[in-house]
Structure 1
Amino acid sequence: MSVENAKPRINIEKVAEWLNERTSTTKCPFCDGVHWSAVNGSGFVGSVIPFGDGKGDMYMGGSPVLSLVCRKCNFVRNIALTPALLEIVLEGEQIATE
């Protein structure tokens, strides 16, 4: 069984440009590596940092982030996907088949 969903795509090259304009280094803070991978590759990328109530209960929603993983040591760097950033980096729609 296949399900098709039209989803926006995050342009990783635009994210890289945006980050390069705002950061002083691309080095990993743990190992000084400079090569990063976006989780889920070229399709729709993004994750969520879940919300919790402080008592152990977690909620399905959360803060949207783009997770970048250092290719050398696997350190995870999260970039908040704010509405302003999404206006810059989202493009078109992509059909996702599962």
Structure 2
Amino acid sequence: MTLTNNVLLWSCAAFLFFGMWWVLYRVAREAIRQIRSRTLTWRESAPFALLLALSSGGCLSFLQWAVSGGRAGGGLGALLLSAAALLLASLMCPLREP
């Protein structure tokens, strides 16, 4: 890969990685707020938490792929898995309005 390709890869990777972590942060913060206010119980939020953990793993796998220059594993697949886990989490366990 040339320097230009690496810069493009890193730019895309940084944008996607930090965007996904921002979504994870917002969703987790809202879920914790609702658990503390007793709108949700821990038992109701367990599948949601597992899907968030899966999504976090996908983000970290994507970062490993980007750091290796796109040679280790399937980074874009990991990012898609992460996005699918977030979508499934929102469909299975939607956060409740207060």
Q: TM-score, normalised by structure 2?
A: 0.31
Q: TM-score, normalised by structure 1?
A: 0.31
Structure number with higher relative contact order (C-alpha < 8 Å, ≥ 6 residues apart): 1
